[in-house]
Amino acid sequence: MKYDFRKFSNVTITGTDLAALNEEEQGVLYVQARYCQAMTDADIGTLREIISEDMIFTHMSGRQQTREEYFADIASGRLKYYTIGIENPEFKAEGNQAVIAYTAVLSAVAYGAKGVYRMHGSHFYERRNGGWIAVNRL
């Protein structure tokens, strides 16, 4: 396996056999795990590298934010992620586009509300300059 998922100390991946994933699926999952780890580390530099500039984030409440508004909330601690689980990831990839659907299990404080939040959703990726970057939709 080319990707070392063990380096992500605050991210768990369950419900899939990493060794059974093809190279493309591993690459997308690796970027998703890197994204989650950067969220728990409040590593805005890494998030900027792997999330497109025009990304819009939609919260459970329906509230939407630009990438920079979201990053500001992470940097300030208004959004504090402790651990993130990636459960039962499923992949679809064609050429330079990929989708990963999974259940996220977040241990977090979101705008003062501390808890464990379970959400099923999809993340979309485009291959740019040889790597995967998170985008709004394909």
Residue 124 neighbours by CB distance under 10 Å: 16
What is the DSSP secondary structure assignment for residue 18, as one 8-state letter? G
- pLDDT > 60? residue 114: yes
Structure tokens that stand for 132 in this block: 């995967």
Domain architecture of the chain: domains with CATH: 5-135 (3.10.450.50)
In DSSP notation, the chain reads ----GGG-TTEEEESS-GGGS-HHHHHHHHHHHHHHHHHHHT-HHHHHHHB-TT-EEE-TTS-EEEHHHHHHHHHHTSEEEEEEEEEEEEEEEETTEEEEEEEEEEEEEETTEEEEEEEEEEEEEEEETTEEEEES--
12-44 pLDDT, tens digit each = 999 999 999 999 999 999 999 999 999 999 999
Distance (Å, rounded) from C-alpha 79 to C-alpha 111?
6
Residue 1 has pLDDT above 80, yes or no: no
Give percent of the chain above pLDDT 70: 99
Tokens of 90: 């499923």
Q: How confident is the model at residue 62 (pLDDT cuts 50, 70, 90)?
A: confident
pLDDT at 120 over 70: yes
**How many angstroms separate the CA atoms of 14 and 30, rounded?**
13
Q: How many whole angstroms separate alpha carbon 52 and alpha carbon 72?
A: 16
